[in-house]
Chains A and B, each alone.
Chain A
Amino acid sequence: MMLVVEGISAYYGRAHILADVGLSVARGEVLALLGRNGAGKSTTLKSIIGLVPPAAGSVRFEEREIASRPSYEIARLGLGYVPEERRIFSELTVLENLEVGRQKPRPGVPEWTPERLFAIFPNLAEMRNRPGGQMSGGEQQMLTIARTLMGNPSLVLLDEPSEGLAPKIVEQMAETLKALKQEGLTLILSEQNLHFARLVADRATIIEKGRIRFTGTMAELMADDDARTAYLTV
């Protein structure tokens, strides 16, 4: 297993957000972390990357314990994070946004340059000197992913990559993620959109009220009407 999360808990102030959350993902796999708004998906990802340090539990990434380490150290181990709501640097150009994400090449992991990224995200190539604030939502979403890839990560966490995008753009996003999987990347995506997750993910974990309720392959989830209606209801 590339990443193993065991028994993590997290709080915002006094509110208990995560209770005993565990999940794992193998190299080359795409895991969908499903659940509704406020279920704890974002907090789980933020705990892994160190933005919300877990109060208890362990996070092991490539056999190394990373729980409670500062997020920049975690990012430097090759764990990339694509936040919800994009959070691109709107004053910076596309190229400058990519520069912020740049890290040294990592052995055994695909190495990214702006030119290689432009091949995957052709839209970005046409606007390399445009400030991020002047891009459409879909283009910004592509830029956040490209920016994270500049760190040459081996595992990428994507927080609701399809949220707020037009159906047609969501389809493109699914194609892009499949292409990244082909490159050998491991992905964890938090999602509410089962339509989208079904196209991309190999396995699914469902979280509800801060606890894990289901873990299995995507096919098992699609066959399990109970789990879907109880926690996802599509």
Chain B
Amino acid sequence: MTAAPTADNGTPPLEFFLSQLLTGLASASALFLVACGLTIIFGVTRIVNFAHGSFYMLGAYIAYSAITALGGGFFGFWGGVILAALAAGLIGVAMEMTILRRIYHAPELFQLLATFGVVLIVQDVALYLWGPEDLLGPRAPGLTGAVAMGSQRIPEYDIFLILFAPLVLGVLWLLFHRTRFGILVRAATQDRQMVAALGVNQKWLLTGVFFLGAALAGLGGAIQLPKGNAGLTMDLGIIAEVFVVTVVGGMGSILGAYLAALLIALIRVFAVANAGSSLLGIQLWQVELVLIFAVMAVVLVVRPWGLLGKRETLTGHHGAVEPPLLAAPAALKWFALAVLALLVALPGMAGTYSLVIATEILIFALFAASLHFLMGVGGVISFGHAAYFGLGAYGAALMVKHFAWPMEAALFAAPLGGALGALIFGWFCVRLSGVYLAMLTLAFAQIAWAVAFQWIDVTGGDNGILGIWPSSWAATTPAFYGLVLVVVIVMLLAIRRIAFSPFGYALRAGRDSPLRADAIGIDVRRMRWFAFTLAGLFAGVAGGLFAFLKGSVSPDLMGIPLSVDALVMVLLGGVQTLAGPLVGAVTFTALKTELVSLTNYWRLLLGLVIVGLVIAFPQGIAGFVRDRFMAKETRA
């Protein structure tokens, strides 16, 4: 990104501002299309479609190929755009029919996980088909000129985009209020089962909705092509912004999505227009994301259900009653002791490489356990838990780099970093519930990521911070393994103890029935806030250890993929068992390590494995084992 021209170079400020405003409005259009697709799909299927960014990316790529194949020109271009939207819609239909139809009755987080599996698959398929380089988008024939506005020139295509979004908005309104399909969709948004009991085949209704939503995302990708590229980072790049737009606009509200997209575009304009100004040595365009966050925070504090959303009680977990949290049966305790003995003996048995992997697995077990504490005990779902892992890692690394702290001291900065971040972000997050909350956590993680990425002076930007090595006594692989083993076990025992403490009970009370908890004096929001902070603290410890294991930190430690990794570990292991995250961390880390060493297209394989596992074990592996082999004890 380059600094935009400023008002200093002779342009009248107002004209400059207006032209920036129009640019912003134009960029809002694609965002709106993707966000309203997400909102429509969520409304009816109750699935937060992580793969929605993938449809957007595919829309761009397919439009590029189609326009090229059709030889450009007016019909070639617009034909390509329409083809791309239809193709994205059909890919959405294929995904719905092959994957989602099998898991509509699975808990919503597993559905989410499956959609993330699709993200991974699509990434590698796109890499295979279109290669790693960004493809420069063709310009729109007939709209290549610019309209003069004072001394500024507004591209015609921008004007088209500005008008296009309200047009789509109007068409969608007519569709939802004037057609039987639309009325059925709105009814199904509220009560799918009832719609079926009235004689409507909801299977095709769901497929239809998925087509519409995916096609809108594809259309968004296609129409932004003349303004930019088709590239492999488009999918996760847009999804965080789309989450912000849907949460700010209000889940389920198409008009809300439009207003929120405009709002965000305006913030961006403001940041760019004042690009010359700086704060604490950071240029204003660099804090764009922080500004977006600030506005989002204000909106959500005033209207937790978004600008135009409905006040809704999304509890976060659906269907079956949570089984009681039981202390582990004796057999399991013996098994745990045996595992512990094995872990202690490991340095004598395993080679260096295996020991490094084992260290990593232990760290991820703690990371997953911290997320599990928040989700399983507190009922608070976080899509952005990597933020606290990363803040812990950066907390330790910054102390080492800027203050030359030794490892022992820096490892105390790690939990503080994680806890402080969680304390601040959590204050906002716990004001929301369910899916809103989860999407907000992801947005916060993106902000943390952006700060680490852009605040180069302090964080080293993309390169991160290097040279974070353990003290000499812990420098050998077995010694560091020993340190990690001790720290992780102490932390895991602490988490377990807290889960069965009055605080842990109060958290579960708030999860089981917020209404009843409130009626017996429990401040559910405050309990969740503390739990959030505690989870951040434990994740921070894991992050600090990880920094010293790798010898470096980078913004990737806060990225969406790592957050999703943690979710996968927790969900694979099963949310209802305290041992679950451990099982999940072992399975997932081992699997991923194996796949990465196997092929360049490991994302594709990993995605397929995730989708397969979700379909095969909708209750997680540990949950499956417990149901299968310990059924007698739960029945007794």
Q: Answer whether A and B touch in the complex at a CB cut-off of 8 Å.
A: yes
Known contacts A83-B197, A99-B183, A101-B199; 6 additional CB pairs below 8 A are A51-B197, A71-B197, A89-B190, A89-B191, A103-B199, A151-B198
Chain A residues with Cβ below 8 Å from B310 are 91
The chain A residue sitting closest to B194, CB to CB, is A87
The chain A residue sitting closest to B180, CB to CB, is A99
Contact with B along A65-104 (1 / 0, CB 8 A): 0000011110110000101000101111000110111010
Kindly name the residue among A14, A71, A81, A92 whose own CB sees the greatest number of chain B CB atoms within 10 A.
Answer: A71
Chain B residues with Cβ below 8 Å from A92 are 183, 186-187, 190
Q: Are A49 and B183 in contact (CB under 8 A)?
A: no
A47 in contact (CB, < 8 A): no
Kindly name the residue among A72, A81, A103, A147 whose own CB sees the greatest number of chain B CB atoms within 10 A.
Answer: A72
The chain B residue sitting closest to A86, CB to CB, is B194
- Closest-CB distance, B190 to chain A (whole angstroms): 5
Could you give 17 example pairs across A and B, Cβ below 8 Å? A13-B320, A72-B197, A72-B198, A75-B196, A75-B197, A76-B199, A87-B194, A89-B187, A90-B190, A91-B189, A92-B186, A92-B187, A99-B183, A100-B198, A101-B198, A147-B198, A148-B198
Chain A residues with Cβ below 8 Å from B320 are 13
Contact with A along B518-539 (1 / 0, CB 8 A): 0000000000000000000000
Chain A residues with Cβ below 8 Å from B186 are 89, 91-92, 96
Q: Are B197 and A49 in contact (CB under 8 A)?
A: yes
How many B residues touch A, CB cutoff 8 Å? 21
Q: Are A100 and B197 in contact (CB under 8 A)?
A: no
- Closest-CB distance, B250 to chain A (whole angstroms): 13
B313 in contact (CB, < 8 A): no
Chain B residues with Cβ below 8 Å from A72 are 196-202
Bound complex: CA A63 to CA B177 (Å)? 39
Chain B residues with Cβ below 8 Å from A103 are 199
Q: Are B198 and A75 in contact (CB under 8 A)?
A: yes
The chain B residue sitting closest to A90, CB to CB, is B190
Chain A residues with Cβ below 8 Å from B190 are 89-92
- Closest-CB distance, A158 to chain B (whole angstroms): 13
Bound complex: CA A89 to CA B191 (Å)? 7
Q: Which of B183, B189, B196, B635 contacts A70 (CB 8 A)?
A: B196
B599 in contact (CB, < 8 A): no
- Closest-CB distance, B184 to chain A (whole angstroms): 6
Chain A residues with Cβ below 8 Å from B595 are none
B597 in contact (CB, < 8 A): no
Q: A13-B320, A99-B183, A100-B187 are in contact. Are A83 and B196 (CB under 8 A)?
A: no
Chain B residues with Cβ below 8 Å from A76 are 199
Q: A51-B197, A81-B197, A90-B190 are in contact. Are A100 and B184 (CB under 8 A)?
A: yes
B195 in contact (CB, < 8 A): yes
Chain B residues with Cβ below 8 Å from A75 are 196-199
Chain B residues with Cβ below 8 Å from A100 are 183-184, 187, 195, 198, 200
Bound complex: CA A173 to CA B187 (Å)? 25
Kindly name the residue among A14, A89, A92 whose own CB sees the greatest number of chain B CB atoms within 10 A.
Answer: A89
- What's the interface size class on A, roughly? 20 to 34
Q: Which residues of B contact A (CB under 8 A)?
A: 180, 183-184, 186-187, 189-191, 193-202, 310, 320, 635
Chain A residues with Cβ below 8 Å from B201 are 70, 72-73
Chain A residues with Cβ below 8 Å from B191 are 87, 89
Q: Which residues of A contact B (CB under 8 A)?
A: 13-14, 49-51, 70-73, 75-76, 81, 83, 87, 89-92, 96-97, 99-101, 103, 147-148, 151
Chain B residues with Cβ below 8 Å from A97 are 187
The chain A residue sitting closest to B202, CB to CB, is A72
Bound complex: CA A14 to CA B191 (Å)? 25
Q: Are B196 and A71 in contact (CB under 8 A)?
A: yes
Q: How many A-B residue pairs have CB under 8 A?
A: 64
Bound complex: CA A51 to CA B184 (Å)? 19
- Closest-CB distance, B187 to chain A (whole angstroms): 5
Chain B residues with Cβ below 8 Å from A101 are 198-199
- Closest-CB distance, A78 to chain B (whole angstroms): 9
The chain A residue sitting closest to B190, CB to CB, is A89
Chain B residues with Cβ below 8 Å from A148 are 198
- Closest-CB distance, A225 to chain B (whole angstroms): 37
Bound complex: CA A96 to CA B201 (Å)? 18
Chain B residues with Cβ below 8 Å from A151 are 198-199
Bound complex: CA A184 to CA B202 (Å)? 30
Kindly name the residue among A13, A73, A83, A96 whose own CB sees the greatest number of chain B CB atoms within 10 A.
Answer: A96
- Closest-CB distance, B44 to chain A (whole angstroms): 13
Bound complex: CA A97 to CA B202 (Å)? 16
Chain A residues with Cβ below 8 Å from B180 are 99
Bound complex: CA A83 to CA B320 (Å)? 20
Chain A residues with Cβ below 8 Å from B195 are 100
- Closest-CB distance, A150 to chain B (whole angstroms): 8
Bound complex: CA A71 to CA B52 (Å)? 30
Report, nearest first, the 9 A-B pairs whose CB atoms are least far apart.
Answer: A75-B199, A100-B187, A89-B187, A76-B199, A72-B196, A101-B198, A87-B194, A72-B201, A81-B197
The chain A residue sitting closest to B320, CB to CB, is A13
Chain A residues with Cβ below 8 Å from B187 are 89, 92, 96-97, 100
Bound complex: CA A103 to CA B187 (Å)? 15
Chain B residues with Cβ below 8 Å from A87 are 191, 194
The chain A residue sitting closest to B310, CB to CB, is A91
Chain B residues with Cβ below 8 Å from A96 are 183, 186-187
Chain B residues with Cβ below 8 Å from A50 are 197
- Closest-CB distance, A195 to chain B (whole angstroms): 28
Bound complex: CA A50 to CA B202 (Å)? 14
- Closest-CB distance, A86 to chain B (whole angstroms): 10
Bound complex: CA A92 to CA B320 (Å)? 29
Kindly name the residue among B183, B196, B198, B635 whose own CB sees the greatest number of chain A CB atoms within 10 A.
Answer: B198
- Closest-CB distance, B27 to chain A (whole angstroms): 31
Chain A residues with Cβ below 8 Å from B202 are 72
- Closest-CB distance, B439 to chain A (whole angstroms): 22
The chain A residue sitting closest to B199, CB to CB, is A75
Bound complex: CA A188 to CA B613 (Å)? 44
- Closest-CB distance, B182 to chain A (whole angstroms): 10
Bound complex: CA A70 to CA B195 (Å)? 12
Chain A residues with Cβ below 8 Å from B196 are 51, 70-72, 75
Bound complex: CA A90 to CA B312 (Å)? 13
- Closest-CB distance, B42 to chain A (whole angstroms): 15
Chain B residues with Cβ below 8 Å from A81 are 197-198
Bound complex: CA A49 to CA B198 (Å)? 10
Chain A residues with Cβ below 8 Å from B194 are 83, 87, 89
Q: Are A51 and B193 in contact (CB under 8 A)?
A: yes
Chain A residues with Cβ below 8 Å from B193 are 51, 71
Bound complex: CA A148 to CA B310 (Å)? 27
- Closest-CB distance, B210 to chain A (whole angstroms): 18
